[in-house]
Amino acid sequence: MRSDPEIDRFRSGVEKYAAFLETVEGRLRFDLTLANLLEFLAQPADLQILDLGCGTGGMAIRLAQMGHQVTLLDSSEPMLEFAEDASQQAGVREKLQIKHGDASEVSRLLPGQLFDVILCHNVLEYVEDPGAILGRAGGALRDGSSVISVLVRSRVGDVLKAALREGDLEGAEQNLTAAWGYESLYGGRVRLFGKQDVRDMLAAASLETSSERGVRVISDYLPPKVAREQEYQRIFALERKLGAKPELAAIARYTHCIVRRGGVAREGIA
């Protein structure tokens, strides 16, 4: 569970986070993650989906618009209020169940509920015990075809960010082994994950990776001559190709894994 100062930044940063999601970086993180996930949704509609740490609800609303039933869980009441208002404006409020609470208490907050898809996007960076969260999420999967979508911040991505965007060579070297980085959006610390960290964490939770992709491989480092807003679709299409290549996914800002309970064949793993 997060400490109070770390929870407070999510309570007070709703508008800031919503504004970030409208930037090129925010849209790419959202759109690339959704595109990766949609490859693994076996049914076209009416899946039961749980969004852990749902934030402002953008992903939940998009999935509800596709016909799915989505449960939103977040420890920040202002985030949930924003999500509820946005869902009403989008006309999908009846497809959402909104629950206030911590991701570590999912089994208590949603007793007996099972899900076809569980989203765990940019949550594990902020919790005390990421492995425990994944273990409890795994226990809420309906069956062997159900998946958890895990998105985490990459340590290698922070190395490149420090070197290429900030020209901070000392910071880049420190990030090579750093367990924690700095979250510029909220002004606090954020856990960093290496590739092996992710795989060890998933294995400890008895989860196996079906797909591993990189999110935002090169888009953060494009030169000013690239009109990023006007070229968004081209950047998105290129990022989709790059993120699917293991050697390039390894340097992305985020690592995105689609995982299942143990015993499922893997795809796309380096």
How do residues 143-192 score in pLDDT, each as one tens digit?
998 999 999 999 999 999 999 999 999 999 999 999 999 888 777 889 99
Token pair for residue 164?
A: 């290429």
pLDDT of 115 reads 97
Token pair for residue 108?
A: 């208590």
Q: Indicate the range of 61-70, 90-99, 237-246, 256-265 predicted with least confidence.
A: 256-265
pLDDT of 268 reads 36
The answer to whether 117 touches 146, Cβ cutoff 8 Å, is yes
pLDDT of 270 reads 31
pLDDT of 121 reads 98
pTM summary value: 0.91
Query: Going along 42-179, which residue ranges are E strands?
Result: 48-52, 69-74, 96-100, 117-121, 147-153
* Residue 269 pLDDT > 90: no
* Residue 234 pLDDT > 50: yes
CA atoms within 13 Å, Cβ hemisphere of 21:
14
Nearest to 127 by CA among 63, 168, 74: 74
**Given pLDDT bands bounded at 50, 70 and 90, which one contains residue 267?**
very low
Q: Indicate the range of 184-198, 214-228, 233-247 predicted with least confidence.
A: 184-198
Q: Which CATH number fits domain 4-260: 2.60.40.4070, 3.40.120.10, 3.40.50.150, 3.90.1300.10?
A: 3.40.50.150
**Given pLDDT bands bounded at 50, 70 and 90, which one contains residue 10?**
low
* Residue 47 pLDDT > 80: yes
Three-class secondary structure of residue 142 per DSSP: coil
> First vs last Cα of the chain: how many Å apart?
32
**CA dihedral of residues 78, 81, 85, 88 (deg, nearest 10):** 150
Phi, psi of 213 (to 5 degrees): -130, 160
Dist. CA 21–CA 29, nearest whole Å = 8
The pLDDT of 55-68, averaged and rounded, is 95
Token pair for residue 28?
A: 């790419």
* Residue 48 pLDDT > 60: yes
The answer to whether 118 touches 152, Cβ cutoff 8 Å, is no
pLDDT of 151 reads 98
* Residue 250 pLDDT > 60: yes
**Domain-wise residue ranges, the chain:** 4-260
Dist. CA 134–CA 138, nearest whole Å = 6
How do residues 74-106 score in pLDDT, each as one tens digit?
999 999 999 999 999 999 999 999 999 999 899
Higher pLDDT, 34 or 104: 34
The answer to whether 20 touches 55, Cβ cutoff 8 Å, is no
Query: What is the CB neighbour count within 10 angstroms for residue 184?
Result: 10
pLDDT of 186 reads 75
* Residue 42 pLDDT > 80: no
Higher pLDDT, 123 or 11: 123
* Residue 1 pLDDT > 70: no
pLDDT of 57 reads 96
Dist. CA 173–CA 139, nearest whole Å = 38
pLDDT of 11 reads 59
Token pair for residue 20?
A: 């970030």
Residue 221 DSSP symbol = G
